[in-house]
């Protein structure tokens, strides 16, 4: 007897059966996603037997292959085993979890810290816990997906304001119930554009309207600011931000996430967030890696200086070539290509030229503004950077995006 469910319009799988776009792009040889890395030293990776410079990783401090972080992970494996097999709430807390929370709180100059198993869970799990009925969340429209999901899971009302649009945010605050609990949530550094939030204005509005301020610094802690303390510290305003979240999957060469803030708030999240209570805790090797990375960050400030030098150099040179890099202010530098298929073709030619980047298409970016997201590491050499620039110059001219005189051709 045949299965007629695939023909039924009300079959819950019908959307999946109708999804053919990925296979169509694969058949064209232009599919840029889920590429398996066969080997990597952090800056040079091997994909499909092809060695390329990695210009799309978030390995900002270049610590994923550092012998010291590897050794720390190995020692933790020997001492604690491979996993905790339980949640922090019950049997999954190790002494090094507590050590990391204490050291991160001290580093971020906050009273307390709570760890989550991923950066995504940190925001999703915190937002739905602290924003309840009769509360209002004010969220930047360009915020990361984990923030969006956190607002969707929360029973609070959510108002989304235009990206970095402080005038619209002010209007939303003015029109809101003065008796409602309020929290403004924003990425500190936006993951696609590389721009910073307007933190001085956010701090001012939060104070004026009695709101709390929450920054997701996944792309900022260990990347920018005073000693790598993130976006608010760029403006000397870290003390004015109520909650800061971060991840360990970028500068800290591991996996997991954290939230810092006042002790009472952190304790509330620790005891009420489903994402914390019902998830297995960070494995020992991951925790030990972060502890070592945090130590290196504080002992080797030259890594941050090198990262800033690289960021300025690449933004400047890409602009000189005629590329549109939006208004990047960080090691995340987007190169706007245009239409989706043109972006895929540009990505493929760049890959063949020896450079790996990330193709970003709608809805992650506006229609007609598909881009190649590049990001840089303190471990990139000048030779790496110049090879990346030469590849972009060559492919940009080939695709008619720039001309030989450093002008945009579109």
What is the residue extent of each domain of the chain? 19-54+301-398, 67-299
Degrees (nearest 5) of the Cα angle 261, 265, 271?
125
Contact assessment for residue 148 and residue 173, using Cβ atoms and an 8 Å cutoff: no
- CATH architecture designation of domain 19-54+301-398: Alpha-Beta Complex (3.90)
Calculate mean pLDDT across residues 185-204. 98
Question: Does residue 404 have a pLDDT over 90?
Answer: no
Owner of token pair 């001492």: 79
Confidence band, pLDDT 50/70/90 cuts, at residue 410: low
**Is there a shared CATH topology between the 19-54+301-398 domain and the 67-299 domain?**
no
Confidence band, pLDDT 50/70/90 cuts, at residue 355: very high
97 catalytic, yes or no? no
Owner of token pair 């609990």: 181
Q: Are strands 243-247 and 212-216 parallel, antiparallel or unpaired?
A: parallel
Q: How many CA atoms lie within 13 A of 230 on its CB side?
A: 30
Q: Give pTM, 2 decimals.
A: 0.96
191 catalytic, yes or no? yes
Could you tell me which residues are beta bridge partners of residue 347? none
Confidence band, pLDDT 50/70/90 cuts, at residue 54: very high
Question: Exactly one of 154, 191, 249, 330 is catalytic; which is it?
Answer: 191
Question: Exactly one of 250, 276, 292, 399 is catalytic; which is it?
Answer: 250
In 3D, which of 119, 153, 22, 103 has the Cα closest to residue 293?
A: 103
Confidence band, pLDDT 50/70/90 cuts, at residue 1: very low
Question: Does residue 408 have a pLDDT over 90?
Answer: no
Average predicted confidence (pLDDT) for the chain: 96
67-299, CATH topology level: 3.40.640
Q: Say which residue, 407 or 26, is predicted with more confidence.
A: 26
Question: Does residue 238 have a pLDDT over 80?
Answer: yes
Question: Exactly one of 159, 219, 292, 380 is catalytic; which is it?
Answer: 219
Whole-number pLDDT of residue 95: 98
Question: Does residue 407 have a pLDDT over 80?
Answer: no
219 catalytic, yes or no? yes
Calculate mean pLDDT across residues 182-201. 98
């Amino acid at each position: 007897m045949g299965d007629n469910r695939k023909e039924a319009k009300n079959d819950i799988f019908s959307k999946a059966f109708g999804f053919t776009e990925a296979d169509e792009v694969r058949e064209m040889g232009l599919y840029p996603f889920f590429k398996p890395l066969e080997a990597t030293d952090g800056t040079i990776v091997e994909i499909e037997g092809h060695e390329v410079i990695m210009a799309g990783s978030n390995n900002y401090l270049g610590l994923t292959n550092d012998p010291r972080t590897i050794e720390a992970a190995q020692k933790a494996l020997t001492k604690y085993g491979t996993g905790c097999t339980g949640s922090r709430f019950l049997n999954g807390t190790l002494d090094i979890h507590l050590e990391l929370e204490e050291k991160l709180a001290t580093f971020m100059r906050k009273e307390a810290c709570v760890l989550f198993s991923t950066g995504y869970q940190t925001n999703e799990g915190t937002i739905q816990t602290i924003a309840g009925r009769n509360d209002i969340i004010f969220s930047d429209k360009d915020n990361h997906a984990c923030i969006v999901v956190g607002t969707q899971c929360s029973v609070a009302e959510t108002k989304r304001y235009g990206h970095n649009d402080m005038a619209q945010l002010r209007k939303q605050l003015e029109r809101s119930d003065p008796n409602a609990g309020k929290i403004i949530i924003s990425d500190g550094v936006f993951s696609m554009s590389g721009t910073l939030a307007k933190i001085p204005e956010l701090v001012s509005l939060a104070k004026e309207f009695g709101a709390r301020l929450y920054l997701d610094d996944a792309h900022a802690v260990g990347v920018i600011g005073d000693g790598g303390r993130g976006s608010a510290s760029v403006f000397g305003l870290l003390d004015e931000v109520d909650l800061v979240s971060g991840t360990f999957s970028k500068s800290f060469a591991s996996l997991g996430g954290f939230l810092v803030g006042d002790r009472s708030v952190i304790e509330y999240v620790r005891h009420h967030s489903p994402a914390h209570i019902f998830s297995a805790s960070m494995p020992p090797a991951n925790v030990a890696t972060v502890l070592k990375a945090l130590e290196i960050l504080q002992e080797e400030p030259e890594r941050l200086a090198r990262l800033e030098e690289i960021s300025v150099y690449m933004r400047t040179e890409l602009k000189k070539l005629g590329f549109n890099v939006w208004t990047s202010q960080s090691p995340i530098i987007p190169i706007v290509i245009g239409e989706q298929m043109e972006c895929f073709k540009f990505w493929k030619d760049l890959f063949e030229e020896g450079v790996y980047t990330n193709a970003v298409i709608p809805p992650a970016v506006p229609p007609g503004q598909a881009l190649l997201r590049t990001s840089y590491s303190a471990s990139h050499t000048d030779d790496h950077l110049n090879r990346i620039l030469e590849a972009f110059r060559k492919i940009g001219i080939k695709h008619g995006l720039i001309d030989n005189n450093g002008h945009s051709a579109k």
